[in-house]
Amino acid sequence: MIYRQPIRKIQESVNSMLELVFGVSLKNATDEQCYKAVALCVRDRMEKGRSEFIQLAEQTKTKHIYYLCMEFLLGRSLKNSLFNLGLEEDYRKALAGLNLNLDALYEQEPDAGLGNGGLGRLAACFLDAMASLGIPATGYSLRYEYGIFRQKLVDGWQTELPDFWLPGGKIWLRSEPEKSVEVRFNGRIDDYWNNGFHVVNHKDFTKVMAVPSDLYVPGIDGRGVSRLRLWAATSEDFDMSLFNGGDYLRAVEQKAMAETITKVLYPEDNHPEGKSLRLSQQYFLVSAAVQDIIRHHLFRNRTLDNLPDCIAIHLNDTHPVLAIPEMMRVMMDECGYGWDSAWEIVQNVFAYTNHTVMSEALECWGINLFRSRLPRIYQIVEEINRRFCAGMHNKGVDGYQVGRMAPWNDGFVKMANLAVASCHSVNGVSKLHSEILKDRVFHDFYTEMPEKFTNVTNGIAHRRWLCQANPGLAALLTELTGDGFVRDAAELEKLMKYKSDPAVLEKMAAVKRENKIRLAKYVKRENGADLDPDSIFDVQVKRLHEYKRQHLNALQILTDYLRLCENPEMEFTPRTYLFGAKAAPGYYFAKQIIRFIVDLGKTIDADERVNKKMKVVYLEDYRVTLAELLMPAADLSEQISLAGTEASGTGNMKFMINGAVTLGTLDGANVEIRDAVGEENMILFGMDAQEAEERKKAGYQPRAFAEKNPELQAALNAVEKGFCGVDFRDISNSLLSSDPYMVLADFDSYDKARHKSERLYRDADQWRSMCLVNTAKAGIFSADRAIREYAENIWHVKPVPEGKRHV
């Protein structure tokens, strides 16, 4: 139950925070200070709610879920917290009485620099869902000082700038320095037997301190509160003799090197230093987390024997897989367990989600780096590998198959293999993806241990992506169906009875147009571009990667541009193409694609023959807050990855719930979207996963597709010549020579699908009905549903019984 403060009490709390924390009165306070004062009031309430929630969980012996992920893409916290706690209107009224505007205070908060893409956003959605369902949960990650990077486009080229998010964002973090733990790197290992006991001494190591800060994520109605514990690296090493001798840099070198670990998310790793830093980041996270988990458990229990009954640890992708050997280290070296008993506990505690079929994302670490940086963990991985391979050989498994499955082989530690060999559960994140894992990626494992493999299709925090991001649509849905969908997304299905109701369809279209106008105002302010809200808003926003095929989208835009140049009077529904994506700093080809899109947009904008019909806008620095504007305004959701390459996607679900029509391939969760809405309510094109695999095996020849399509060949020639004085022959050469993601093979089908979308959009009644069906059928893609499946099938946890909570 929510404990709602009177308006006067909220006002008194805000005034007190301003005076006590910032030393200013309300009349002298800046908007930033007012935002921080409100944030502190809300944070205090969540801390109390978390304490009460965990006490009830411990009284009822409810299993605690620990979720390890290198990133949590949270976005902003103030609006989400107030909405989920049911306090937004109370605070709006209270602040209005103080002559403060809550919406203006929202704008003072930066997006938390703790994530990059779908992996981190999924983790954030899951914290929300676990709290909403009453499942006690703690997420673990790193407190990145600069996040990933802030994207700035200079003459179309991506430039990376530091993301200074902490000055406005750390107000949500409660520092807990007394709970710091020590993480050890480098050194040498002496291990020996003494009076029947195995003794391990780690000598000459480098010590880095992990200092935790906690951030809270409330569930709907304050039923539960999840905690995200973030670790910052620091060192106490300071060589006074060097400093006094004038060697100031060397005196602080160790401290500076230690703190580098939590400076930036995903440092570039195309050089040895970058690889070492990434490995250090991953071990730093898991070592701090595992020590914290075990310390917390032993504070309330006398033994670790019951650990699997009390907790579950979930590894979100391969980045935190070193938690497995780290827990073995702590149990054996610090808690006195033998290998067999420790290993049984570890296997029962850990579960693993795979998020990719891309070989480059299945992390491997060179043995030399691994051994020198993590000598004790290297020993443990070596023993895990020895025992695993011996077990497989004893079962009569073919030697080549054992080699492919081995956690350590060919001079590399293979993190995905280590995860599958060690965890009791391995899941993919869409039905198609899970089948690909069994048939291709982990087929050798699946033949020997099929019971480990399962599927949990991803889901989204619908309260954020519908109720908060699209208040106009949420209000209309409440008017039509009641507000039950806020707590149970399955109730969106009630909307289906209106799919042929002209009055309702007109109201939904009006909401969409208002959202398009809202986005257009943002684009005008930030980009200086004028958008036509009556044009089709055709949106592709996600990470920039070849397999997501932003260049397929751009190539088709270019083809239509050339057609219009040749025949300006041809029938063409005005269209606004919106892109948003960051490329990894060292990913040159992806940066070239960004520049190609930007320069193509400039060329079209300068051409008076076509610029009233086409507009291409690349939105800088794509992030959660920008997505919250884009998703509700989109007419078309571009989900065009090569079938069999995208694990699931969650952007497709966010667009869908906001009434956008998916234009995509049968890849990832698009397959399940098709099953939910029917083919008539989305626009499909291209090969399916099996056809793509067969074409690849048969020897794909991309040039043949260009030669039989003169318009495609003309577009490729234009790419080679370039725009705005820049040629893009790297892109055209890649497409014509190797085309690893079969852009040219799917081009003709995509081109037809794009034009089909124009015809459908011109039929207003049919288009609006398609949009309604997409919203109505989106309930299955709620994160609440996904977490229920994890809880029932993998973690074996039941929610904390309903109880009275004062949040």
Nearest 10 degrees: CA dihedral of 378, 384, 387, 391?
A: -140
Measured distance CA(434)–CA(140) in Å, rounded: 25
Task: For the beta carbon of residue 802, count every other beta carbon within 10 angstroms.
Answer: 10
User: H-helix or E-strand containing 350?
Assistant: strand 350-353
Instruction: Report residue 728 CA to chain centroid gap.
Output: 31
Q: Which residues contact 49 (CB under 8 A, 6 or more apart)?
A: 216, 218, 222, 225, 805, 806, 807
DSSP single-letter state for residue 782: B
How many Å is the Cα radius of gyration of the chain?
27
CA distances in angstroms from 124 to 321, 463, 465, 709, 780, listed in the order given: 19, 13, 12, 45, 18
**Antiparallel, parallel or unpaired: β 636-639 and 661-664:** parallel
- Return the HEC string of 554-596: HHHHHHHHHHHHHCCCCCCCCEEEEEECCCCCCCHHHHHHHHH
Q: State both tokens at 410.
A: 């060919």
Answer yes or no: are the C-beta atoms of 807 and 46 closer than 8 Å: yes
Answer yes or no: are the C-beta atoms of 63 and 310 closer than 8 Å: yes
Residue 771 burial by Cβ neighbours in a 10 Å radius (0-12, 13-18, 19+):
buried
- Where do the H-state alpha helices sit in 195-271? 240-244, 248-251, 253-259
Number of residues that this document lists for the chain? 807
- Residues tagged active-site: 355, 542-543, 548, 650, 654
Q: State both tokens at 296.
A: 């917390």
- Give the up-direction half-sphere exposure of residue 33: CA atoms within 13 A in the CB hemisphere: 16
